[in-house]
């Protein structure tokens, strides 16, 4: 159970502690932040509201710990990460329990088992695998350097040898979003640590308790004190202080428009930004309707549409639109709607604010004449799955990310129309195209301004070693295990200068030696 057994020390009465200097602590603020259960809409947990002074101390110890950690052999860093991964997997049940209670993840998916939406990646087990894979990738990527010789650049003799290696950046600040508070935290923690950095985590408020349990698994693995810290509190209250802190050498952030604001304030440090998306699904006349419908259900409605790579708009050729809509409606009718504890497919969205926002998009679409394929139904934060047909570009839902189980369908008459809609978006995360004509699919993929295009499957992050990136307002930089490790390091060169060109040795007696 959460907060018991090995996790008992992270809880003090009803409030979860924050983690600093290798210890679990209560904040001197004597203030707490409530985490609301999305299903009951009552307070489920409480976490500490950390102060600026506590953040300062965390940054100091992160800096000190990093200086020693960078001297720790790479194989040893990897060994500790493997240990943390094993502990994380061992304790999947209490962590999954928190995911169910604080972010309404369907219970089976939160642990490990496959369900209708089996590709989902929040699973605790998948997070453990990600940590282990990163340890393995790290020893190879970081175990290699380069050797350059000067005479390949015009005007140079062979008098300089350059040795390059990858060095850590220092203190990495990691800020994940509510929808994957464990997986999207470890995707930042593991590359940071294997590369020799220290890490300060600011978990999302909804998801903080899952993240604190995950951090305890790293604590149990025996990482040096101060190397990993976790400060809790509302982003709106401590976020700016953290992201503008002079002790931070790199920010790895996943979330919504907050990331755009952070990138304007952060200063001259590397940023990894994974932001929102409006992933388009382009469906051509020759597509396999059953395949498309299955992917629209999986891509558009898993975890109630609260995924960055959810299908967020369907752009279907008019000639097959009726058949596709009919098929998708038949599949929607089979979705189980209800609490996450009952392992429903559609569970309450994360907050009342989010539910109200989704409702605003639905009302706007109704006023402007969209066709409702199902009746709009809401109970608290629970919104029944809804397909909106005949959506037009003047409707907000055509462009905005609902982050809920509501999916717009726009009927198109040409491929160009579909590509135009996709590229007119501020976002450019992923997209997908369904057709049996691979040549057309590749041409469309080339034309779509998104970080990734999936052919004949719904957008998805992963497998975790694949590159993952967004264009435009969808982000800066690229994730994926190898890319994250490289992003959290810098090249260091050492140049060996010779008194005479090296090729003179044994070459006609020109050497002075
Ligand atoms: P969000 O509101 O932007 O919050 C993300 C994180 O930022 C949370 O930890 C939040 O903490 C923190 N935060 C809030 N204000 C801050 C500030 N001023 N300074 C620093 N941090 C601050 O996003 P969300 O609602 O959690 O997540 C949904 C969004 O994430 C969607 O737009 C989705 O598309 C995007 N997302 C993108 C990816 C991707 O890989 N591209 C993956 C998943 C999700 P609090 O919770 O305490 O406010």
CA–centroid distance, residue 258 to ligand 1 (Å): 6
369 or 513, higher pLDDT: 369
Considering only CA atoms, which residue is closest to atom 19 of ligand 1?
Answer: 239
What tokens were used for 66?
């990093």
Q: What is the mean pLDDT of residues 43-68?
A: 98
Say if strands 43-48 and 146-149 run parallel, antiparallel, or are unpaired: unpaired
CA–centroid distance, residue 166 to ligand 1 (Å): 30
The side-by-side arrangement of strands in the sheet containing 146-149 is 146-149, 160-168, 489-497
Check residue 6 and report its DSSP letter: G
CA–centroid distance, residue 189 to ligand 1 (Å): 17
402: which residues sit within 8 A by CB, 6+ positions away? Answer: 305, 312, 357, 358, 361
308 is catalytic: yes
At residue 502 the predicted structure's pLDDT band, cuts being 50, 70 and 90, is confident
- Please check the confidence at residue 506 and state whether its pLDDT lies above 90: no
Q: How many residues does the chain have?
A: 513
Pocket test for ligand 1, best of 255, 302, 305 (most atoms within 8 A of CB): 255
Sign of CA dihedral 127, 128, 131, 132: negative
pLDDT at 118: 35
pLDDT at 108: 67
User: Which candidate, 249, 116, 234, places its Cα nearest to that of 174?
Assistant: 249
Q: What is the mean pLDDT of the chain?
A: 95
Count Cα neighbours of 173 within 13 Å in the Cβ-side half-sphere.
29
Pocket test for ligand 1, best of 47, 258, 460 (most atoms within 8 A of CB): 258
Ligand 1 atom closest to the Cα of residue 176 is: 9
Please tell me the distance from the alpha carbon of residue 222 to that of residue 452, in angstroms, as a whole number.
38
User: Which candidate, 401, 411, 386, 404, places its Cα nearest to that of 332?
Assistant: 386
CATH code given to domain 5-275+477-492? 3.40.605.10
CB atoms within 10 A of CB 27: 21
109 or 96, higher pLDDT: 96
Q: What is the mean pLDDT of residues 231-247?
A: 98
* Domain extents in the chain: 5-275+477-492, 280-469
Check residue 223 and report its DSSP letter: P
Asked whether 79 and 320 are in contact (CB, 8 A), the reply is no
326: which residues sit within 8 A by CB, 6+ positions away? Answer: none
Please tell me the distance from the alpha carbon of residue 130 to that of residue 188, in angstroms, as a whole number.
10
Which runs of consecutive H residues, i.e. helices, occur in 195-337? 208-221, 235-243, 258-265, 289-301, 318-332
Please tell me the distance from the alpha carbon of residue 292 to that of residue 327, in angstroms, as a whole number.
9
pLDDT at 318: 98
Q: What is the mean pLDDT of residues 202-218?
A: 98
Please tell me the distance from the alpha carbon of residue 108 to that of residue 420, in angstroms, as a whole number.
39
Please tell me the distance from the alpha carbon of residue 461 to that of residue 452, in angstroms, as a whole number.
9
411-445 tens-digit pLDDT: 999 999 999 999 999 999 999 999 999 999 999 99
Q: How far apart are the first and last CA of the chain?
A: 74
Asked whether 200 and 248 are in contact (CB, 8 A), the reply is yes
What tokens were used for 178?
């509510």
274 is catalytic: yes
Q: What is the mean pLDDT of residues 440-463?
A: 97
- Please check the confidence at residue 255 and state whether its pLDDT lies above 80: yes
145-174 tens-digit pLDDT: 999 999 999 999 999 999 999 999 999 999
Please tell me the distance from the alpha carbon of residue 182 to that of residue 210, in angstroms, as a whole number.
7
Ligand 1 atom closest to the Cα of residue 207 is: 46
What tokens were used for 91?
């304790």
- Please check the confidence at residue 51 and state whether its pLDDT lies above 90: yes
Into which CATH architecture does domain 280-469 fall?
Answer: 3-Layer(aba) Sandwich (3.40)
Q: What is the mean pLDDT of residues 340-347?
A: 94
159: which residues sit within 8 A by CB, 6+ positions away? Answer: 150, 497, 498, 499, 500, 501, 502
């Amino acid at each position: 159970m959460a907060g018991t057994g090995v996790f008992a020390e992270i809880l003090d009465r009803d409030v979860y502690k924050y983690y600093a200097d290798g210890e679990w602590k209560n904040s001197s603020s004597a203030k707490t932040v409530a985490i609301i259960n999305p299903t009951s809409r009552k307070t489920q947990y409480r976490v500490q509201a950390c102060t600026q002074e506590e953040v300062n101390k965390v940054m100091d110890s992160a800096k000190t710990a990093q200086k020693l950690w960078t001297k720790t052999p790479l194989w040893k860093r990897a060994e500790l990460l493997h240990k943390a991964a094993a502990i994380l997997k061992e304790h999947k049940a209490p962590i999954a329990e928190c995911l169910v209670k604080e972010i309404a993840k369907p219970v089976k998916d939160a642990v490990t088992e496959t369900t209708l939406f089996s590709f989902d990646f929040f699973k605790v087990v998948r997070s453990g695998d990600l940590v282990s894979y990163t340890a393995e990738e790290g020893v190879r990527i970081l175990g290699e350097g380069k050797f350059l010789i000067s005479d390949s650049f015009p005007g140079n003799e062979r008098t300089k040898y350059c040795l390059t290696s990858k060095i850590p950046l220092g203190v990495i600040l990691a800020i994940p979003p509510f929808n994957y508070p464990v997986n999207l935290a470890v995707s930042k923690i593991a590359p940071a640590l294997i590369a020799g950095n220290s890490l300060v985590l600011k978990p999302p408020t909804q998801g903080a308790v899952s993240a604190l349990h995950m951090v305890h698994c790293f604590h149990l693995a025996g990482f040096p004190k101060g190397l990993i810290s976790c400060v809790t509190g509302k982003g709106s209250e401590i976020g700016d202080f953290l992201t503008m802190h002079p002790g931070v050498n790199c920010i790895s952030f996943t979330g919504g428009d907050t990331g755009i604001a952070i990138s304007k304030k952060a200063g001259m440090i590397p940023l990894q930004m994974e932001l929102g998306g409006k992933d388009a699904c382009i469906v051509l006349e020759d597509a396999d309707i059953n395949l498309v419908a299955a992917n629209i259900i999986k891509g558009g409605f898993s975890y109630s549409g609260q995924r960055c790579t959810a299908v967020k708009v369907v752009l279907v050729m008019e000639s097959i639109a009726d058949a596709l809509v009919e098929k998708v409606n038949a599949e929607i009718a089979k979705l189980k709607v209800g609490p996450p504890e009952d392992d429903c497919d559609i569970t309450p969205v994360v907050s009342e604010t989010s539910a109200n926002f989704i409702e605003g998009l639905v009302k706007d679409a109704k006023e402007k004449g969209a066709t409702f394929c199902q009746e709009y139904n809401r109970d608290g934060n629970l919104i029944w799955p809804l397909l909106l047909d005949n959506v037009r570009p003047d409707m907000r839902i055509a462009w905005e990310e609902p982050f809920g189980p509501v999916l717009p369908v726009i009927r198109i008459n040409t491929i160009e129309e579909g590509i135009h809609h996709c590229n007119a978006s501020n976002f450019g995360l992923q997209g997908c195209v369904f057709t049996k004509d691979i040549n057309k699919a590749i041409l469309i993929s080339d034309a779509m301004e998104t970080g990734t295009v999936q052919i004949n499957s719904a957008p998805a992050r992963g497998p975790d070693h694949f590159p993952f990136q967004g264009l435009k307002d969808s982000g800066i930089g690229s994730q994926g295990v190898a890319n994250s490790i490289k992003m959290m390091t810098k090249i260091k060169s050492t140049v060996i200068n010779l008194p005479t060109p090296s090729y003179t040795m044994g070459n006609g007696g020109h050497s002075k030696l």
